[in-house]
Chains A and B, each alone.
Chain A
Amino acid sequence: GENVEQHPSTLSVQEGDSAVIKCTYSDSASNYFPWYKQELGKRPQLIIDIRSNVGEKKDQRIAVTLNKTAKHFSLHITETQPEDSAVYFCAARPSTSGTYKYIFGTGTRLKVLA
């Protein structure tokens, strides 16, 4: 069935360093890939997204890259800050069968050490 694998499950970086989180999806028909940040006890919030016809998108310190051939997409955070510490989820939305179901990765707990 449809699946999204996310790695690593935990990531610790020094403040100012970069962080990279990787996801692989199984459904080649997936056409939309959002990333969410969830702080402890709060709602997931969209931080960046990418469509399948785009290879890379950047928003200030955050960027997402997509490799459709490999069915792989990644989140890049540069110049990390303590407030970047949170759990990050990737997701894929399959375009088959008219479904609007999203498949989420299992999350990455990012810790930025001051």
Chain B
Amino acid sequence: DGGITQSPKYLFRKEGQNVTLSCEQNLNHDAMYWYRQDPGQGLRLIYYSQIVNDFQKGDIAEGYSVSREKKESFPLTVTSAQKNPTAFYLCASSGTGLSQPQHFGDGTRLSIL
């Protein structure tokens, strides 16, 4: 969906380094989400936010942090505490009404150097 932009497309992290993945949407959606996808696996929820300045932990929040200072933006920081960060990271957004599907960005592939 052209309304959600993730950057960069590829990212490399050195040991002990924090890295930040960007997610911007122009769909005027209140809710935003971060998922991690390992090869051949499903989507695991890291964090989600239903409104500006508020966010909740998902199923695998340890080693990650987020902020939601603007409606359009929901950056994800992968901290050095995340010992196995290599994965495909997907950002999504949705409206908060009934029957509102999630729209996904193109993803960021993170690898360890």
Contact = CB atoms under 8 A, between A and B. Distances in A.
Contacts, number: 56
Interface of B: 1, 30-31, 33, 40-43, 45, 48, 50, 56, 58, 88, 90, 94, 96, 98-107
A43 B105 contact: yes
Nearest to A45: B104
Interface of A: 31-32, 34, 36, 41-46, 49, 51, 89, 91, 98-102, 104-107, 109
Contact of B43 (A46, A98, A104): A104
A46 B101 CA distance: 8
A107 B98 contact: no
A105 B43 CA distance: 8
Contacts of B94: 100, 102
A17 B5 CA distance: 37
Nearest to A104: B43
Contacts of A107: 41-42
